Amino acid sequence: MIQIIPAVDIIDGRCVRLTKGDYAQKKVYDASPVDMAKAYADCGVARVHLVDLDGAKQSAPANLRTLEAIANAVNIEIEWGGGLSSDIALRDAFNAGASCGIIGSVAALKPELFRQWLQTFGGSRMILGSDVRNRKVAVKGWLEDTELTIDDQVDGFLSDGLSQVICTDISKDGMLQGPNVALYEELQAKYPSVDFTVSGGISCMADIEALDAKGLRKVIVGKAIYENRISLEDVKKYSL
């Protein structure tokens, strides 16, 4: 059964969701990141997905206090992304309670550094965050596009122990119009040794069921929960 990983995106210590990664299209929610993490933990999820959007924009973590508060409040795995661009930033995130680091811009722009981190911390703690528009990788909080494809990235890091990839289809993110199932099905079939996490576009349980039927292993759900399209009871059913 596919694993649901609830998302908490953070700006200024508050829960937000963007549309297509656009900071100008930001919606702030009343629930605190700690309260949301507690609610997810109560559902029995094994992991939560936390993104420091301030950190992604400034290329350095900005919400580590929130990460620490969540780590102290819940006993589940925390995958953390946003601003992890140096050895110090990565170790600070781990020290604050992150179980895994999601590496996006560094993996695209400084592949040797990400390769070093994979070799030092292992594939169980290092996640490639590949955020794509038309299969091309975007960096720096999705503000800049590159000529790299997600296939280029996976091929480049497989021999270094890469085993986890979060692929976000930016065109789908926050749109609540369904995920790009074909993309993820193709990637998972091409790289069976890698766990691909679907990210972007989840609108309802039918989307998750469709991904599950195609053999996808993990899916991030964010806005659909905040907008009450997927209930915590639904999440709980997939966490038993």
Looking at 9, 54, 207, 234, which residue is catalytic? 9
Q: Roughly how many angstroms between the first and final C-alpha of the chain, as a whole number?
A: 10
Nearest to 75, CA basis, from 110, 106, 103, 37? 37
Cβ–Cβ under 8 Å, residues 143 and 152 = no
Report the SS3 class of residue 142: coil
Cβ–Cβ under 8 Å, residues 131 and 104 = yes
* Integer Cα distance of 235 and 232 in angstroms: 5
> Is 9 annotated in the active site?
yes
> Is 131 annotated in the active site?
yes
Cβ–Cβ under 8 Å, residues 166 and 189 = no
110 phi and psi angles, rounded to 5 deg: -135, 65
Rounded (10°) angle between helices 181-190 and 150-157 = 20
Looking at 12, 30, 42, 131, which residue is catalytic? 131
- Other beta carbons within 10 angstroms of residue 129's beta carbon come to 28
- Hey, what's the torsion of the CAs at 51, 57, 61, 66, to 10 degrees? -50
* Integer Cα distance of 202 and 178 in angstroms: 5
Query: Active-site residue numbers?
Result: 9, 131
